[in-house]
Structure 1
């Protein structure tokens, strides 16, 4: 499932939530509406994580070593 707020996308995966893009929250009613949408989404993420209980320090793939690749543009 994915939620889009402005230019920000919040996507629910099987073992993580991905947040990408950017958003400018203007000092207006639309900015307030977007801020509330983000707050609701973040609160739901925090609630789900807290309900999991015994979480590991990091997930397995975050411990995987990084590797260098050739820059395709340079």
Structure 2
């Protein structure tokens, strides 16, 4: 399965301990990636560059980009599971 930026298929890509998570409105990068001066470091930086380049191409090809996208926050109240217990 190839990673197509902003096509939310519940997919993510891992490069070492760095995760690139796809979504329709945002792409999240989290974790850690150490680029060392070795063959693995070269492979990791090339993989990261390929993902970043694909994301940049998708954004550059978008005709109508807002200055800043809105962030949809879902504020919800989670019931306290201890509220009904007798805490004597």
TM-score (norm 2): 0.67
- Please tell me whether residue 47 in structure 1 is matched to residue 51 in structure 2: no
Counterpart of 2:32?
Answer: 22
Which structure: larger Rg?
2
Structure 1 gaps, min length 5: 65-74
Structure 2 gaps, min length 5: 1-10, 74-88
Whose strand proportion is higher, 1 or 2?
1
User: 1:23-38 alignment to 2 at 5 Å?
Assistant: 23-38=33-48
Aligned length: 63
Shift in Å at residue 31 of structure 1? 0.2
